[in-house]
Amino acid sequence: MSLSYPLQVVNLLAALLLLISFAMLSQRRVVGLITLFAWQGAALAASTAIIAWSTGQHHLYYSAALTLILKVIAMPWFFYRIVRQLDVNREVESMLNIPTTMLIGIVLVIFSFNLALPISQMAGTVMRSTLGIAMACVLLAFLMMITRRKAITQVIGFLAMENGLFFAATSATYGMPLVVELGVALDVLVGVFVLGIFFFQIRESFESLDLKHMEKLREK
Amino acid sequence: MEIYWVLGIPLAGGIFLALWGNRGHAPEINALFSLATLLAAAALAARIVAEGPLLVGQGWFFIDSFNVFLVALTALVAFTTALFSRPYMRIEKEHGKLTDARLRLYHSSYQVFIGMMLLALTTNNMGILWVSMEGATLATVLLVSLYRTPASLEAAWKYFILCGVGIALALFGTILLYFAAEKVLGSGGTALLWTQLNGVKAQLEPTVLQLAFVFLLVGYGTKVGLVPLHSWLPDAHAEGPTPVSAVLSGLLLNVALYAVMRSKVLVDGALGTDMAGNLMMGFGLLSVVVAAFLIKRQTDVKRMFAYSSIEHMGLITFAFGMGGAVASFAGLLHMTMHSLTKSAIFFAVGHATQKAGTQLMDDIRGLIQTNPTLGWGLMLGTIAILGVPPFGVFASEFLIITTAMHAHPWATPFLLIALGVAFASIFGKVQPMVFGETELPKLPYQPALTPVFLHLGLVLMLGLFIPPYLATWYRQAAALLGG
């Protein structure tokens, strides 16, 4: 089966998304993580735009533009600023060592391809095969959230998870209805804003963004 | 038309109070906006009772007996909590725990939070439901950390991250739902409208919906506080200001469960099996049992009642999971009873902890001596939530357990043991708090306890006598849930 040219580019970008997810798992520095997050957003925006162009789904142009503005420009800029102001760009302390994390990551990818298989067979979209990749991105971001200790890396993990979900929506159904997508984008924006305030509060009280100080509340 | 008032007033209130700031009378304005919301909600409820389900705004809003009852409950508890928070927050400020800027944030976010919950309840679009649930979380994150103590920051962080991950899973569930719907309804804005989905639910792809429901249940279930996804809940309830604990426990948990129920109706229609109900029963029963045994180990009074909320939400989830007319009726009744009683308890506990300057139960003693009204308020609230007749909680718990005996006898011993353990632990801990010996002087001011007795009065009334129109209303709502 030969694939059309735009579709090949989309598949390439999907592979890139997965690669970036793995790179994020192995990245040790916060600034490097933010750069990778920006690249992931860029790959997502590009693939959404290409899908919009090749299938004539015009509303996807808006989502691509939203992704570009929010996740490639606004949020990375905001995070860079926070990192500079709070001076947290030291090595990221991971709870598991990196090779182990990577191995777990590979298992997750296999699992998500298996999970996505029955669904993607039902999908009527041209890039249904990328659904597995989208799910893998979600799970890898989830893994990053679990294994990292710093508040800011957890948030980047959360946003990377959102990227994966967004990609899943695009590849399974050409995206959600526009009003829902706008709502989700608004929520994410407000969420990041709230977190910005929050980082400063945490920093003020603990003089660090390391979450190991935040383990007082648990069942005795 | 009323629906626009119900949604518009709190959102306008949020903006107004953010601009108004600390110019004085902000707590009164907050209460006024809540009162206006309550009146609008009452008008809406009256219209639904008279005219039946309503689809307005080109199908964007859908109100039937199920959600209008929650709208009315939300508006009522929001209003009484605003009344309670007026003197409570003033004293917190006098104690130097809050500043003007933080009170401004509090009042503004409070209104936005109520508005978001009402939007989640009335919207017809499963996507907007998701958006407003997330909006409600975001509005309360900074409220949980309002005191800026290390513990409150930790609690707020946990709340944000755990509910964030949960809600992300729910988004995936929503995407899957849209994926299934798009095949039948075609793409575009209407494919996520609940009324449309409900019309074609038998044609939706069962395998996809099955997976979607698992994600939706786990996602929204995190917000309901179902075990094992509950760990944010006691922290957020214990560390946030008491009015926030009252609305989180009394309202947000209900709204999250509402989202699960809307999804369940669709999945049941598509699958024709009990898969969704069984999952809910499992999660519900686990929550009841685990929470009951954790209550025993608590030393902080707000944490203890937070675990009691998990227990009761588990019981309601279990009732809805059983399905059928009687169980759904009991679930709805229990939802009402729990919201009213638990917020009343938090009001009383708020005054007690404020007076004692601590939340540790060992250090709170002899409330009946320092202020008899407060002592009796807490005692009666506790007795009510523990399911002692003639309070309404007894009626709903009795219905749930008798239904379980018929339909699922294996579950009854677990429920009874858990309820017994919870009863013994909570009663054993509250009793010395109220009747113990104390050296503290009498309370210098009269606490604002009208909301407490108003709520308890309603619970008592509903325990003795449910007015016929209310019973019809519950029955209609139960029928909508597949009774």
Do the Cβ atoms of B382 and B345 come closer than 8 Å? yes
Q: List the one residue out of B217, B221, B233 whose CA is nearest residue B268.
A: B217
Q: Is there a domain that residue B12 lies in?
A: no
> Which single residue is written with the structure tokens 């686990």?
B286
Structure tokens at A196: 């910005």
Q: Is there a domain that residue A168 lies in?
A: yes
The A residues from 193 to 212 touching B (CB cutoff 8 Å) are: 194-195, 197-198, 201-202, 204-206, 211
Q: Is there a domain that residue A189 lies in?
A: yes
Residue with the larger pLDDT of the pair B443 and B388: B388
Q: How many residues does chain A have?
A: 220
What chain A residue is nearest to B192 in terms of C-alpha separation? A177
Span B15-34, average pLDDT = 89
Nearest to B151 among A119, A154, A216 (CB): A216
Chain-centre distance for alpha carbon B424? 24
CB pairs under 8 A between A and B: 132
Q: Is there a domain that residue A54 lies in?
A: yes
The number of distinct structural domains making up chain B is 1
Residue A88: CA atoms inside 13 Å, Cβ hemisphere, count?
29
Q: Which domain holds residue A184?
A: 5-213
**pLDDT (tens digit, 9 = 90+) per residue, B71-121?**
999 999 999 999 999 889 988 888 888 888 889 999 999 999 999 999 999
Could you tell me where the DSSP H helices lie in B272-324? Answer: 275-295, 301-322
Q: Cα–Cα distances in Å, from B156 out to A89, B151, B242?
A: 24, 9, 14
CB contact (8 A) between residue B164 and residue A191: yes
Phi/psi for A4 (5° steps) reads -70, 160
Structure tokens at B478: 């139960």
Q: List the one residue out of B154, B175, B380, B73 whose CA is nearest residue A173.
A: B175
> Which single residue is written with the structure tokens 């009774």?
B483
Could you tell me where the DSSP H helices lie in B123-271? Answer: 126-144, 150-185, 194-199, 206-224, 232-239, 242-247, 253-271
Residues in A closer than 8 angstroms to B14, CB to CB, are: none
Measure B168 CA to nearest chain A CA, in Å. 7
Q: Cα–Cα distances in Å, from B42 out to A43, B199, B469?
A: 50, 29, 14
Mean per-residue pLDDT over chain B, rounded: 90
Burial code of B194-209, b = ≥16 C-beta within 10 A, e = fewer?
bebbeebbeebbeebb
Q: Which helix (H) or strand (E) holds B297?
A: none
The number of distinct structural domains making up chain A is 1
Q: Is there a domain that residue B204 lies in?
A: no
Residues in B closer than 8 angstroms to A132, CB to CB, are: none
Side chain identity at residue B268, one-letter code: D
Cα(B369)–Cα(B439) distance, rounded to whole angstroms? 9
Q: Is there a domain that residue A88 lies in?
A: yes
Q: Assign residue B297 a region: left if phi > 0, alpha if psi is -120 to 50, beta otherwise?
A: alpha
Structure tokens at B25: 């009378």
- Chain B interface includes A189 (CB < 8 A): no
Q: Which helix (H) or strand (E) holds B370?
A: helix B367-370
Q: Which of B61, B165, B209 to mutate to test the interface with A (most CBs of A within 10 A)?
A: B165
Cα(B21)–Cα(B4) distance, rounded to whole angstroms? 25
- Chain A interface includes B161 (CB < 8 A): yes
Could you tell me where the DSSP H helices lie in chain A? Answer: 5-26, 30-55, 59-67, 75-86, 98-122, 131-147, 151-173, 178-206
Q: List the one residue out of B239, B243, B254, B238 whose CA is nearest residue B81.
A: B243
Phi/psi for B62 (5° steps) reads -135, 125
Q: Is there a domain that residue B346 lies in?
A: yes
With both helix axes pointing from N to C terminus, report the angle between B126-144 and B206-224 in degrees, rounded to the nearest 10: 20
Q: Is there a domain that residue B322 lies in?
A: yes
Burial code of B118-149, b = ≥16 C-beta within 10 A, e = fewer?
bbbbbbbbbbbbbbbbbbbbbbbbbbbbbebe
**pLDDT (tens digit, 9 = 90+) per residue, B166-212?**
888 899 899 889 888 888 887 766 788 898 888 888 888 888 888 89
Cα(B174)–Cα(B212) distance, rounded to whole angstroms? 7
CB contact (8 A) between residue A217 and residue B161: no
Measure B296 CA to nearest chain A CA, in Å. 12
Q: Is there a domain that residue A220 lies in?
A: no
DSSP string, B430-443: HHHHHHS---PPPP
Residues in B closer than 8 angstroms to A190, CB to CB, are: 135, 138
Cα(A33)–Cα(A51) distance, rounded to whole angstroms? 27
Q: List the one residue out of B103, B135, B130 whose CA is nearest residue B30.
A: B103
Residue B332: CA atoms inside 13 Å, Cβ hemisphere, count?
30
Nearest to B164 among A158, A174, A197 (CB): A158
**pLDDT (tens digit, 9 = 90+) per residue, B367-381?**
888 888 889 999 999
Q: Is there a domain that residue A35 lies in?
A: yes
Do the Cβ atoms of B96 and B113 come closer than 8 Å? no
Burial code of B311-337, b = ≥16 C-beta within 10 A, e = fewer?
bbbbbbbbbbbbbbebbbbbbbbbbbb
Measure B189 CA to nearest chain A CA, in Å. 5
Measure A166 CA to nearest chain B CA, in Å. 9
CB contact (8 A) between residue B165 and residue A198: no
Instruction: Tell me which of A109-113, A216-220, B440-444, B465-469 is least confident.
Output: A216-220
Q: Is there a domain that residue B475 lies in?
A: yes
Residues in B closer than 8 angstroms to A168, CB to CB, are: 172, 175
Nearest to B127 among A122, A180, A194 (CB): A180
CB contact (8 A) between residue B205 and residue A122: yes
* Residue A209 pLDDT: 64
Q: List the one residue out of B136, B129, B97 whose CA is nearest residue B113.
A: B136
Structure tokens at B272: 């024709």
Q: Is there a domain that residue A196 lies in?
A: yes
> Which single residue is written with the structure tokens 């009256």?
B46
Q: How many residues does chain B have?
A: 483
Structure tokens at A21: 């997810």
Q: Is there a domain that residue B281 lies in?
A: yes
Q: Which domain holds residue B338?
A: 274-483
What chain B residue is nearest to A141 in terms of C-alpha separation? B165
* Residue B21 pLDDT: 80
CB contact (8 A) between residue A174 and residue B187: yes
ipTM associated with this complex: 0.87
Q: Is there a domain that residue B203 lies in?
A: no
Q: What is the 3-state secondary structure (H, E, C) of B11-30?
A: HHHHHHHHHHCCCCCHHHHH
What chain B residue is nearest to A205 in terms of C-alpha separation? B150
Nearest to B153 among A169, A183, A202 (CB): A202
> Which single residue is written with the structure tokens 């030291």?
A90
Nearest to B145 among A180, A201, A206 (CB): A201
Residues in A closer than 8 angstroms to B294, CB to CB, are: 219
What chain A residue is nearest to B191 in terms of C-alpha separation? A177
Instruction: Count the neighbouring beta carbons within 10 Å of the beta carbon of residue B307.
Output: 29
**What is the value of pTM for the model shown?**
0.91
Chain-centre distance for alpha carbon A88? 21
- Torsion sign across C-alpha atoms B70, B76, B80, B85: positive
Give the contacts of A61 (CB within 8 A, at least 6 positions apart).
Answer: A49, A52
* Residue A1 pLDDT: 45
Structure tokens at B211: 């997976």
Measure A133 CA to nearest chain B CA, in Å. 14
CB contact (8 A) between residue B161 and residue A142: no
* Residue A220 pLDDT: 47
Cα(A195)–Cα(A189) distance, rounded to whole angstroms? 10
CB contact (8 A) between residue A154 and residue B239: no
Give the contacts of B298 (CB within 8 A, at least 6 positions apart).
Answer: B304, B307, B361, B429
Partners of B62 in beta bridges: B55
The B residues from 137 to 156 touching A (CB cutoff 8 Å) are: 138, 141-142, 145, 148-151, 153-156
Q: List the one residue out of B62, B388, B9, B336 whose CA is nearest residue B196.
A: B62
* Residue A208 pLDDT: 66
Q: Is there a domain that residue B157 lies in?
A: no
Vertex B161: Cα angle to B159 and B167 (nearest 5): 95
Q: List the one residue out of A190, A194, A94, A100 whose CA is nearest residue A145.
A: A94
pLDDT by residue for chain A (220 residues), tens only, comes to 456 788 888 888 999 999 999 998 888 788 888 999 999 999 999 988 988 888 887 888 888 898 899 889 988 998 888 888 777 666 666 667 788 888 899 999 998 888 888 777 776 666 667 888 888 998 899 888 888 777 788 888 888 998 998 888 888 777 778 778 888 888 888 888 888 888 777 777 776 666 666 666 665 4
- Chain A interface includes B112 (CB < 8 A): no
Nearest to B175 among A142, A172, A202 (CB): A172
pLDDT of B483 above 60 = no
